[in-house]
């Protein structure tokens, strides 16, 4: 029942906002709808914790401890981002960057985007998961080009074409998967249901599955932003409105990675080898290293943090690729803390760029004097994302690197070097943005910084103390993924 | 009978591939759209044959869906867009057809090899069609890479979807209906969004040439 | 005895109907262009007219220049009479190897080019060079088309190919679809038809075939025109043998002969009209596009082979 609510609320929200998205109360309506989704997901979480995994609606939906934590995280970040977007979009409107119609589109698509992500997470049908992932691209592509500038159009076009091509590969992978599954489960509805596939995964044809996984990894990997398929990501993040960057980075990438991990479980079962893991480790490591070196060359603040997202997604992919209880646990923890931290950073960055009227880092100065909360938010967020103790990112990165040292020692120099380069690049830039002289004016609406500090507080909490039920929950999920 | 319909499907698969090559070497945008519609028609016919010979009745719905969406609606939208955007007689100037075709042949060999072990275990009807489907997906991909105008790129994108759909019908007798509907919806919505895009791009750049859109890159 | 008679009949038939096919194509083209047209018998009348004229030779012409029309005519006649046009069990049938056919065409081409350069006019040399360019690209494509068909019947003998495709159990060969498209492209190029060359103009920028025969007159020109008609017929009947061999009489089946003859005429009528249609709807391409065109034909033929091996039958 909760599942239905989780999906219906954003869908209704999307329809309502398509009608009233330009009204004065639209941002509030957006937040209310997101809050409703969040409450429903909280109920679902409680229910799954107490009752264990469940399926619903003729097995079309499926919740276990792995996806329920992502559902909760997605609903939560979508809610806090909607809080942030309320003043942010108003300020953009005052600045004359947006018209009423653009706002209507934005609000409606925001809800529909949430819907598609939640659908991708909750569905038991791998085909529907593909449809939802493609729909997630479709809903965000017009948001990336919202400002109609030449750069934003280019970014949106690139995003559409690259992700469209990528996701088409994933469809081919899904078809191959169905081809293999149909031999075991018979034609018809059940052969794409994950629960059924999971039950018979050892009987699936290994050759087909390994080919399918390559296509799935390339396809969904494009959406995760794995190198060398990441080209769309920095552009889309830099040119879209900041709330969209926050949800893209914090949520969409996670959902795409979720799709990869789900496929990996099946392939591992069928192959009995570590092929899928090795592929993921390779792509992950390449992304971490590549992103770190691109980070140091960025001039645009949102681009820089977009590369940071590629780096962290690479790290998670690497962790899931290594497999085993500890690495998987760390991967999930990293998913959580990265989502929270990165969206918090984007919130702070959003207001900072609004104040300075530019995204070029050399023109953003002295945030701490003009607006201490933005300055502190950005400073603390950056420290957190760079993996400074005592934040949660430190804990997860520490776990990943120690596991890597133990299992694949040759990878540690690359990982450490990449993290070091990223640290130097981001830290030096953020320092001069936060401190330094400036003559900027105040913003026309008070910025919403509650979400920033709520996120950072949670990340801090996760670094100091992981509540036992949460740890339990990660462990269960890690056991499922293997 | 079974054998004969298998041969017919093979024939239409080959025609599908032939049209993919035709699209790869076609410079005129208008002909490209017509080829795309023709490819959709081949897809429809082969789906009907698969449906008939395998008694999978839901495939008739898929065929109808393909016919409506890919033979009628999408080409119609594209034609309309061409007219409205006034790019009806656009031709792609700078690209080397023989080289493209050579790369295309290499891709076909690659795809056939990749699909060979899988074709071995397919049923009698579906043998070898997977290789052709994969080849036409890769060829569409190549077409997208070689084109610098927006509309041909989009047609390449849609043709890729055709290849995927062919893989789904011929290799596996069609995905579950709900998935197929979802995919069709995505394609249709995607087409609408692309249509909006065309106008936005032309408004901003005064042309649908994507060469104007190469500002965002790492230097 | 009967076989020899039949062979003689076929030889006479092809040499007589070849100008008719050319006339039919031209007539169809005229109709498609909304002209009334010269009538299907025009090529015959032209030849009669040319045979009645006195031949004029350039004074520096070598004997080669004079012999060439006969050699060309002989080559084309041989090629056209080798192809199983109406029956498969002719005395010359064992000699009908597709590679030999390509060789006969190549031989004719060599003489055409040599004769064109013989006088030393610039147009002749230009035409010869262009002809060699086209031929050089068309030959491998034609060979690949033949190999595709040969791969199906496991033989390069055209007779065996016809027997396999027409008289064994009916099987659809998708690879032949590719080969057919490639073959049509080669046919257009080899016979100087429209996208590659325009047989009805003498425009120095574009002409290929006409440039080479500018110096010929009277009976020599008539023989060359006749040879061109025979070449078109040979190519058309090769096309029938490969892609629609139905109707060609089987070995020892005399009763099927009238049927074979009727089938041949129907097929020629349709093919001629099709060729005219193809020529009408396509535009003459620049000479520098020809390599692209022939390259495409070659690649399609290769693709046909690949598809054949993919299907593995």
Residue of C172, C174, C301, C308 to mutate, testing the B interface (most B Cβ within 10 Å of its Cβ): C174
Reply yes or no on whether the pLDDT at A346 is more than 80.
yes
Interchain proximity A188–B216, CB inside 8 Å: no
Give me the helices (H) in A189-324, please.
194-199, 206-224, 232-239, 242-247, 253-271, 275-295, 301-322
Instruction: Give the pLDDT band (50/70/90) at residue A356.
Output: confident
Q: B58 is written with which tokens?
A: 């839901």
Instruction: Report percent pLDDT > 70 for chain A.
Output: 99
Report, as an integer, the average pLDDT of A442-453: 81
Residue of B nearest to A164 (CA): B157
pLDDT at A93 over 50: yes
Q: Is the peptide bond before A52 cis (omega within 30 degrees of 0)?
A: no
- For residue C207, pLDDT over 60 is answered with yes
Q: How far apart are CA C267 and CA A151, in angstroms?
A: 59
State residue A122's pLDDT score.
Answer: 93
Residue of B nearest to A208 (CA): B118
> A206 to chain B: nearest residue by CA?
B118
Answer for the pair C230, C67: CB distance below 8 angstroms, yes or no. no
Q: Do B141 and A165 touch (CB under 8 A)?
A: yes
Which region holds residue B206: left if phi is over 0, alpha if psi is between -120 and 50, else beta? Answer: left
Backbone phi and psi for residue B209, each to the nearest 5 degrees, phi listed first: -80, 125
Task: Tell me: pLDDT of B9 over 70.
Answer: yes
Q: What is the pLDDT of residue B176?
A: 82
Least CB–CB distance from C307: residue in B14, B25, B97: B14
pLDDT category at C245 given cuts 50, 70, 90 is confident
Query: Which residue of C195, C281, C309, C310 to mutate against B (max B Cβ within 10 Å)?
Result: C310
Q: What pLDDT is attached to residue B93?
A: 64
Please tell me if residue B47 touches chain C, with a CB cutoff of 8 Å. Answer: no
Q: Is B133 on the interface with C (CB under 8 A)?
A: no
Tokens of A22: 């330009």
Residue A125's SS3 state is strand
Q: Which of A127, A157, A168 sits opposite B175 (nearest CB)?
A: A127
- So what's the pLDDT on residue A213? 93
Please say if the pLDDT value at position A38 is more than 90: yes
> What sign results for the dihedral spanned by CA atoms A280, A112, B183, B62?
positive
Highest mean pLDDT among A171-180, A182-191, B198-207, C250-259: A171-180
Token duo for residue C187: 């046919």
Give the distance from residue B105's alpha carbon to the nearest chain C alpha carbon, in angstroms.
7
Reply yes or no on whether the pLDDT at B68 is more than 60.
Answer: yes
Among chain B residues, the shortest Cα distance to A138 is held by B190
Task: Say yes or no: B108 contacts chain C, CB-CB below 8 A.
Answer: yes
Average pLDDT over chain B, rounded to whole?
83
Residue A448 confidence class, pLDDT cut points 50, 70, 90:
confident
Element (H, E) at A73: helix A65-94
Cα A49 to Cα A26: distance, rounded to the nearest angstrom = 34
Which among C243, C231, C278 has a CA at the least distance from the CA of C146? Answer: C243
C200 pLDDT more than 80:
no
The answer to whether the Cβ–Cβ distance between C310 and B109 falls below 8 Å is: no
Bridge partner list, C48 = none
Do C and A have ≥3 inter-chain CB pairs under 8 A? no
Q: What is the pLDDT of residue A121?
A: 94
Give which of B3, B5, B10, B135 to mutate to test C binding, by max C Cβ within 10 Å.
B10
d(CA C232, CA C188): 9
pLDDT tens sequence across B141-185: 888 888 888 888 888 988 998 898 888 887 777 788 888 888 888
Residues A366-419 have pLDDT tens digits of 888 888 888 889 999 999 999 888 899 999 999 999 999 999 999 999 999 999
CB C24 within 8 A of CB C269: yes
Closest residue of chain C to B18, computed from CA coordinates? C178
CA of A389 vs chain B CAs: smallest distance (Å):
32
Q: How far apart are CA A175 and CA A192, in angstroms?
A: 9
What share of chain C has pLDDT > 90, as a percent?
Answer: 2
pLDDT score, position A255? 94
Which residue carries 């599908």 as its tokens?
B16
Q: What is the pLDDT of residue A208?
A: 87
Residues of C in contact with B127 (CB under 8 A): 311
Residues of A in contact with B116 (CB under 8 A): none
Q: Do chains B and C touch (3 or more CB pairs under 8 A)?
A: yes
Distance from CA of C241 to the nearest CA of B (A): 19
| Chain C: closest CA distance from residue B12 (Å) | 8
Chains that touch A (3 or more CB pairs under 8 A): B
- The tens digit of pLDDT for each residue in A242-274 reads 999 999 998 999 999 999 999 999 999 888 888
Would the pLDDT of C313 be above 60?
no
- The least confident of A294-303, A414-423, C32-41 is C32-41
Q: Which residues from B are below 8 Å from C300, CB to CB?
A: 18, 21
**Min distance C96 CA to chain B CA atoms (Å):** 29
In this prediction, residue C251 carries a pLDDT of: 63
- Residue A344 scores a pLDDT above 90: yes
In terms of Cβ atoms closer than 10 Å to its own Cβ (0-12, 13-18, 19+), residue A158 is buried
State the alpha helices, DSSP H only, in A323-464: 325-356, 367-370, 372-385, 392-407, 412-434, 450-464
Query: Across residues A9-32, what is the average pLDDT?
Result: 89
More confident residue, B94 or A133: A133
Q: Is the peptide bond before A390 cis (omega within 30 degrees of 0)?
A: yes
Q: Could you say which of C175, C295, C296 has the minimum Cβ distance to residue B14?
A: C175
Give the H/E segment covering residue A61: strand A61-63
Asked whether residue A281 carries a pLDDT value surpassing 90, the answer given is yes
Q: CB contact, 8 Å: C222 with chain B?
A: no
Among B50, B164, B170, B179, the strongest candidate for a mutation testing the A interface, having the largest count of A CBs within 10 A, is: B179
How many CB atoms are closer than 10 A to CB C34?
A: 7
Q: Which residues of B touch C310 (CB under 8 A)?
A: 112, 119, 128, 131-132
Interior/surface letters B140-178, b for 16+ CB within 10 angstroms, e for the rest: bbbbbebbbbbbbbbbbbbbbbbbbbbbbbbbbbbbbee
- The rounded distance, in Å, linking the Cα atoms of C12 and B214 is 67
Mean pLDDT estimate for chain A: 89
Where does the pLDDT of residue C252 fall: very low under 50, low under 70, confident under 90, or very high at 90 and above? low
pLDDT tens, C114-165? 888 888 788 888 888 888 888 888 889 999 998 888 888 888 888 888 877 7
pLDDT at residue B124 greater than cutoff 60: no
Is the model more confident about A152 or about C254? A152
Position A340 scores a pLDDT of 93
Chain centroid, CA B212 distance in Å: 26
Mean pLDDT of B60-72: 89
Cβ atoms within 10 Å, residue B3:
12
Does B118 sit within 8 Å of A178, measured CB to CB? no
Chain A residues touching B122 at Cβ < 8 A: 179
Cα–Cα distance between A423 and A295 in angstroms, integer? 10
Q: Is B15 on the interface with C (CB under 8 A)?
A: yes
B129 has pLDDT over 90: no
What's residue A336's pLDDT?
Answer: 93
Distance from CA of A301 to the nearest CA of B (A): 14
**pLDDT of the residue at A39:** 93
Say if residues A332 and A418 touch (Cβ distance below 8 Å).
no
Distance CA C82, CA C10 (A): 9
**CA A253/CA B17 separation, integer angstroms:** 35
Chain B contact present for A128, CB below 8 A: yes
* CA dist., res. C185 & res. C137, Å (int): 11
Min CA distance, A146 vs chain B (Å)?
10
Whether the predicted pLDDT of C213 surpasses 70: yes
Report how far residue A15's alpha carbon sits from residue A18's, in angstroms, rounded to the nearest whole number.
5
Is A176 at the interface with chain B, CB within 8 A? yes
Does residue A438 register a pLDDT over 90?
A: no
Cross-chain CB nearest to B109 (options C172, C306, C311): C306
Residue A150, pLDDT > 60, answer yes
What's the token pair of residue C203? 């425009």
C152's tokens: 């199906």
Q: Rounded mean pLDDT of C97-122?
A: 86
How far is residue A8 CA from its own chain's centroid?
A: 22
Contacts of C302 in chain B (CB under 8 A): 105
Contacts of C177 in chain B (CB under 8 A): 11, 14-15, 18
In angstroms, the separation between the Cα of residue A245 and the nearest Cα of chain B is 17
CA A157 to CA A421: how far, in whole Å?
Answer: 31
How distant is the Cα of B179 from the closest Cα of chain A, in angstroms? 5
Out of A216-230, A359-373, B67-81, least confident range: A359-373
Q: In the predicted model, what is the mean pLDDT of residues B195-204?
A: 85
Chain B hits for C175, CB-CB cut-off 8 Å, are 14
Distance set, CA B45 to CA B8, B38, B40, B170, C173 (Å): 10, 11, 9, 12, 17
**What's the mean pLDDT when you consider all of chain C?**
83
Checking if the pLDDT of B123 tops 70, the result is no
């Amino acid at each position: 029942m909760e599942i239905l609510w989780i999906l219906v609320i954003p869908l209704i929200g999307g329809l309502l906002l398509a009608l009233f998205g330009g009204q004065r109360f639209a941002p509030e309506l957006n937040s209310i709808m997101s809050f409703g989704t969040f409450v429903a997901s909280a109920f679902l979480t409680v229910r799954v914790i107490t009752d264990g995994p469940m399926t619903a609606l003729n097995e079309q939906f499926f919740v276990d401890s792995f996806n329920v934590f992502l559902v909760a995280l997605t609903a939560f970040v979508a809610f806090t981002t909607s809080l942030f977007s309320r003043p942010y979009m108003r300020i953009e409107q005052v600045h004359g960057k947006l018209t009423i119609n653009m706002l209507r589109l934005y609000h409606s698509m925001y809800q529909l985007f949430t819907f598609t992500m939640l659908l991708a997470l909750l569905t038991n049908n791998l085909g529907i998961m593909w449809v939802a992932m493609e729909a997630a691209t479709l809903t965000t592509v017009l948001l990336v080009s919202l400002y109609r500038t030449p750069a934003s159009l280019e970014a949106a076009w690139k995003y559409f074409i690259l992700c469209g091509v990528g996701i088409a590969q994933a469809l081919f992978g899904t078809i191959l998967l169905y081809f293999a599954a149909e031999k075991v489960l018979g034609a018809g509805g059940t052969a794409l249901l994950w629960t059924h596939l999971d039950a018979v995964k050892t009987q699936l044809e290994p050759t087909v599955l390994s080919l399918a996984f390559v296509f799935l990894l390339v396809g969904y990997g494009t959406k995760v932003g794995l190198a060398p398929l990441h080209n769309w990501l920095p552009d889309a993040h830099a040119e879209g409105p900041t709330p969209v960057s926050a949800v893209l980075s914090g949520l969409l990438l996670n959902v795409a990675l979720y799709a990869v991990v789900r496929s990996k479980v099946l392939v591992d079962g069928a192959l009995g080898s570590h092929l899928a893991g090795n592929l993921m480790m390779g792509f992950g490591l390449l992304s971490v290293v590549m992103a770190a070196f691109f980070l140091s060359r960025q001039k645009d603040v949102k681009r820089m943090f977009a590369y940071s997202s590629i780096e962290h997604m690479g790290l998670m992919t690497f962790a899931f690729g290594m497999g085993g209880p500890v690495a998987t646990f760390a991967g999930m923890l990293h998913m959580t803390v990265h989502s929270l931290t990165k969206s918090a950073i984007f919130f702070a960055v959003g207001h900072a760029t609004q104040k300075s009227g530019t995204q070029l880092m050399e023109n953003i100065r002295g945030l701490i004097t003009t607006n201490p909360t933005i300055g502190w938010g950005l400073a603390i967020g950056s420290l957190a994302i760079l993996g400074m103790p005592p934040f949660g990112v430190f804990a997860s990165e520490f776990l990943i690197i120690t596991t890597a040292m133990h299992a694949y020692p040759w990878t540690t120099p690359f990982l450490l070097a990449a993290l070091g380069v990223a640290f130097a690049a981001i830290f030096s830039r953020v320092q001069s943005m936060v401190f330094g002289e400036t003559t900027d004016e105040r913003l026309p609406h008070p910025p919403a910084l509650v979400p920033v500090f709520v996120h950072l507080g949670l990340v801090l909490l996760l670094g100091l103390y992981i509540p036992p039920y949460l740890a339990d929950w990660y462990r269960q999920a890690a056991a499922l993924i293997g | 009978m079974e054998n004969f319909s298998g041969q017919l499907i093979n024939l239409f698969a080959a025609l599908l591939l032939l049209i993919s090559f035709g699209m790869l070497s076609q410079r005129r945008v208008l002909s490209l759209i017509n080829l795309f519609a023709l490819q959709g028609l081949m897809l429809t016919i082969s789906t009907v044959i698969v449906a008939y010979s395998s008694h999978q009745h839901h495939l008739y719905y898929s065929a109808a869906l393909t016919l409506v969406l890919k033979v009628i609606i999408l080409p119609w939208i594209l034609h309309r867009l061409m007219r409205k955007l006034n790019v009806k007689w656009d031709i792609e100037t700078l690209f080397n057809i023989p080289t493209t075709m050579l790369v295309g042949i290499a891709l076909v060999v690659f795809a056939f090899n990749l699909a060979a072990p899988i074709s071995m275990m397919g049923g009698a009807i579906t043998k070898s069609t997977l290789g052709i489907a994969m080849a036409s997906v890769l060829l569409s991909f190549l077409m997208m890479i070689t084109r610098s105008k927006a509309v041909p790129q989009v047609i390449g994108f849609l043709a890729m979807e055709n290849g995927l759909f062919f893989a789904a019908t011929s290799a596996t007798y069609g995905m579950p209906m709900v998935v197929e509907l979802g995919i069709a919806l995505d394609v249709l919505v995607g087409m609408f969004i692309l249509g909006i895009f065309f106008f936005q791009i032309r408004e901003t750049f005064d042309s649908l040439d994507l060469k104007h859109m190469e500002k965002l890159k790492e230097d | 005895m009967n076989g020899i008679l039949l062979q003689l009949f076929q030889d006479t038939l092809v040499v007589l109907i070849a100008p008719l096919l050319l006339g039919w194509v031209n007539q169809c083209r005229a109709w498609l262009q909304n002209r009334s047209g010269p009538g299907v018998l025009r090529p015959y009348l032209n030849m009669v007219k040319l045979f009645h004229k006195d031949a004029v030779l350039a004074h520096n012409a070598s004997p080669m220049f004079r012999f060439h029309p006969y050699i060309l005519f002989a080559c084309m006649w041989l090629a056209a009479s080798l192809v199983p046009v109406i029956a498969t069990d002719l005395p010359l049938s064992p000699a009908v190897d597709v590679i030999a056919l390509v060789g006969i065409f190549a031989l004719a081409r060599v003489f055409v080019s040599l004769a064109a350069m013989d006088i030393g006019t610039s147009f002749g040399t230009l035409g010869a060079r262009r002809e060699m360019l086209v031929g050089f690209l068309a030959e491998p494509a034609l060979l690949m088309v033949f190999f595709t068909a040969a791969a199906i019947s496991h033989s390069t003998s055209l007779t065996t190919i016809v027997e396999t495709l027409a008289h064994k159990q009916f099987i659809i060969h998708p690879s032949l679809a590719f080969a057919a498209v490639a073959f049509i492209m080669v046919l257009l190029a080899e016979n100087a038809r429209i996208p590659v060359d325009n047989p009805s103009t003498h425009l120095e920028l574009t002409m290929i075939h006409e440039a080479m025969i500018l110096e010929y007159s009277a009976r020599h020109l008539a023989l060359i025109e006749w040879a061109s008609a025979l070449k078109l017929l040979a190519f058309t009947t090769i096309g029938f043998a490969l892609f629609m061999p139905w109707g060609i009489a089987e070995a020892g089946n005399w009763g099927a002969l009238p049927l074979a003859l009727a089938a041949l005429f129907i097929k020629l009528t349709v093919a001629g009209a099709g060729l005219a249609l193809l020529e009408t709807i396509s535009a003459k391409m620049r000479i520098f596009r020809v390599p692209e065109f022939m390259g495409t034909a070659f690649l399609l033929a290769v693709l046909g082979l690949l598809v054949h091996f993919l299907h593995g039958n």
